[in-house]
Structure 1
């Protein structure tokens, strides 16, 4: 369907279908994480910390979470023993966030549960269709990131 075509029903609108599928995916992924005492925001942050230590500002930029939400997520991750925050030795204005050994283990368990939930969500699609969907969604996401304005540099993170 071209973008100029007349839409007779909402189900014919690609944007509507994206919203509806996202509306199915988010609760499924959240439910999958309940046994671990985690949520998707926490797992997203752990995923970005899995390979490196980052400042809170860098985490905000990479995850798309605002500063207030990031502070709350990091508070939760610290309480769970999955991450630590400390002042940067090179720049005392920054907080550096690190994943803990427990955080790495929790992330590994979470990704397994999320992959199972994803498998259930995508079950109606053949493997080649799943790969194609991933490729197309990645292209849309990458294009949106290329157009996104650079986050403002912040003195305090």
Structure 2
């Protein structure tokens, strides 16, 4: 005897964490593709932006601003220095500290890569109308308040 199946209940909403994770993965992929021609990744772009903030920072100060450990920061700065995007010099006041500044090539890379990052974000948000995209940014900003003001980019 074949029984009639009871209708399935509607599937529950996809969990927010799942949706946010998938959105983050997609945006990260799109951003990585946009930054690749500029020879930097998202982490390196963030370091360049912090170093362009207007004040000369030591590696340790930059690491603290970014919330990364010193070992990670040394690795990031090494890579940027290898590509002539930043330069280190000893602090005249404390020989144990390395001050890090952008080179002219680093400043140009930052400008171009930041433009590419913004374009990737725009493409990511393209399925939404402007009001919805702005509302999404506001809502996420409310849920994830900044600890410090954003780094102004050129």
- Once the two structures are TM-superposed, the CA of residue 141 in structure 1 deviates from its matched residue by 2.6
Q: Could you give the per-residue CA deviations for residues 103-124 of structure 1, whole angstroms, max 9, x where no partner exists?
A: 1100000011111111111111
Unaligned runs of 5+ in 2: 1-10, 149-154
Give the Cα–Cα distance (whole angstroms) in 1 for the partners of residues 88 and 138 of structure 2.
35
**Quick check: 1:14 aligned with 2:16?**
yes
Give the Cα–Cα distance (whole angstroms) in 1 for the partners of residues 93 and 105 of structure 2.
26
Aligned 1:144-155 pairs, distance under 5 A: 145=147
Q: Report 1 or 2 for greater relative contact order, CA contacts < 8 Å, sequence distance ≥ 6.
A: 2
Structure with the bigger percentage of helix: 1
Q: Answer with 1 or 2: which has the greater Rg.
A: 2
Give the Cα–Cα distance (whole angstroms) in 2 for the partners of residues 18 and 27 of structure 1.
14
TM-score, normalised to structure 2, is: 0.81
- Once the two structures are TM-superposed, the CA of residue 65 in structure 1 deviates from its matched residue by 2.5
- Once the two structures are TM-superposed, the CA of residue 66 in structure 1 deviates from its matched residue by 2.3
- Once the two structures are TM-superposed, the CA of residue 10 in structure 1 deviates from its matched residue by 6.4
Is the partner of 2:94 in helix, strand or coil? Answer: coil
Q: Would the alpha carbon gap of residues 141 and 87 (structure 1) be closer, same or farther in structure 2, given more than 3 Å must change?
A: farther
The structure 1 segments of at least 4 consecutive aligned residues displaced by more than 6 Å after TM superposition are: none
- Once the two structures are TM-superposed, the CA of residue 23 in structure 1 deviates from its matched residue by 0.9
Is the partner of 1:38 in helix, strand or coil? Answer: coil
Unaligned runs of 5+ in 1: 1-7, 147-157
**Quick check: 1:70 aligned with 2:73?**
yes
How many residues are matched? 137
TM-score, normalised to structure 1, is: 0.79
Q: Is the 8 A contact 1:10 1:16 kept in 2?
A: no
